[in-house]
Amino acid sequence: MQNSLNKLQRFIAIHRKKAPLDFIHENSSQLLKRLHVISIVLTILFIYYFFADFVMLNHLENKLFRSNLIVIHLLSLLISIVYICIYRLVKNKQTFISSRKANVLINTYISMYLLLGVASSLNSQNLSGNIDAYITIVIGVAVLFQVQPMTLTAILLFSHSLFYIGLYYTVQDLPSLVTKQINSTATVIVALIIGIIFYTNKKRDYFHQENFAKLFEINPYPLILSKIEDGELLKMNHRASKFYGINKKDLKQMRAKEFYKNQQQRQAIIEELKKTGFIKNQVIEQKTANGNYRWVQLNYELIDYKGEECILAGVTDVTDLKEMEAELVQHASIDPLTGIQNRRSGIQLLKMLLMESERIKDTFVLCFIDVNNLKIVNDRFGHAEGDRLLKTVCHVIKESLEDDDLFFRYGGDEFIIVFKGAELDDVKKRWSIIVKQLAETSPTLYEISVSHGLFQYEPNSAITLENMIKKADESMYKEKRLIKNLI
């Protein structure tokens, strides 16, 4: 009971609250458009009316009914054509739509259409004894035209008074007269209640939208409102405008998809929204007006805005966090001395490569490398020179590799290269070029020398990663011993 009372109090409060000019303008614009649609429909229907009046009812004995019906239909056509012409002149004049003249035009035409309903019903009463046309038009006016309650009351009272009087002179049977007066009066009361409820609800929705607009603008985070289907940008608060570098006056020319790297990315988000109604903490890259990409965390909500399904997106800039994350990942995966992948990340990538090669039945060659004489260089010339030796070796090798090849520090002076999709003979040729380049890069103090061992992986060989590395390592040590013996 208390809940119902509270709802009634809110309803009365909204009804009493004065409608702002923006609401009056929006409502008038909508009513003018509806009148335009109805006028077009009535104009088209006149073709049927003409056929009914002059063909279907041609042999009707009640000539007065037929004559009155023709006059009513002609008046309907005339006032509809006149309104269509007026609407073409005023539809883009915002000052007219906001003025009293627009209200006068709207109320006049609603009254005229109602009076046509009155005349049509009274005419039907003379022939068939029904008043359906009047009842239908009264309810239709209440539903289609959300005018101010006082105006609606005045229009309905005026038309109903004429209808009431008309019934008195056209219905001879007293019980039938009383019944029709009671039923039509009840219809008018119901129509008035419907009209008041519709108008009040419309005004309430507007106030809700107005409050939404205020909260939307003062929100401390960037907010964007867009249509779900075509991505048309409806609203963007100041922070969003500043973040994306978009002038609000250019908003209508843009689409939400322009923020995304590709349309498929946005489409996937739309499909998820249609299923769940919301998406939380979606982290993606988005493009700003100057063409730069920023990492953002997005929260999406599917909402109804002015009768359309729209997406409300809250944006948080996380570019700095992503850069810090990338830096941490780099520190965790990159060897700080040589700048190549460290052992942990290199082994992970090698495992992934092994799985992929097994799946697509591809081959690769694993090369195990050991830098010769690092201890001697450290002892004679210092650890700084030893570090320079390792960096030089890595730089020369890295420059000689292809983009798909994997290169990482296995530990100390040991490194692993994986030549993806390569054959053993091809790798041997490439390695001889690397050895030559290393020799040419040697400082005057010593000669850069490396030992290597190769192992070619073949799909379906059922060998483990550890055994591959072990076999390449054993091959490398054979070469290392041979070099020592030669020295």
What is the DSSP track for 116-135?
HHHHHHHHHHHHT---HHHH
pLDDT at 9: 46
Q: Can you give the C-alpha Rg of the chain in angstroms? A: 42
Contact predicate 242/236, CB 8 Å: no
Q: What is the mean pLDDT of each run of 10 residues along the chain (487 residues)?
A: 47 48 81 92 90 84 85 92 93 86 91 90 81 87 88 91 88 85 90 89 74 74 88 86 82 81 83 90 86 88 85 89 76 88 92 89 94 93 94 94 94 95 92 93 90 92 91 93 74
pLDDT at 107: 92
Spatial CB neighbours of 415, under 8 Å, sequence gap ≥ 6: 340, 368, 369, 370, 371, 393, 394, 397, 407, 408, 409
Please name the residue that has the structure tokens 């948080």.
316
Residues forming beta bridges with residue 369, ordered by sequence position? 415, 452
Domains of the chain: 2-215 (no CATH), 219-321 (3.30.450.20), 334-486 (3.30.70.270)
How far is the C-alpha of 271 from the C-alpha of 261, rounded, in Å? 17
Contact predicate 184/131, CB 8 Å: yes
**Residues 478-481: contacts with CB under 8 Å, at least 24 apart:** 478/453, 479/451, 479/452, 479/453, 480/370, 480/372, 480/451
C-beta atoms surrounding 328 within 10 Å: 10
Residues forming beta bridges with residue 316, ordered by sequence position? 297
- The counts of H helices and E strands in the chain are 16, 9
Model pTM above 0.95: no
At 340 the three-state DSSP class reads coil
How far is the C-alpha of 40 from the C-alpha of 88, rounded, in Å? 12
At 280 the three-state DSSP class reads strand
Spatial CB neighbours of 247, under 8 Å, sequence gap ≥ 6: 241
Please name the residue that has the structure tokens 């390592």.
473
pLDDT at 43: 93
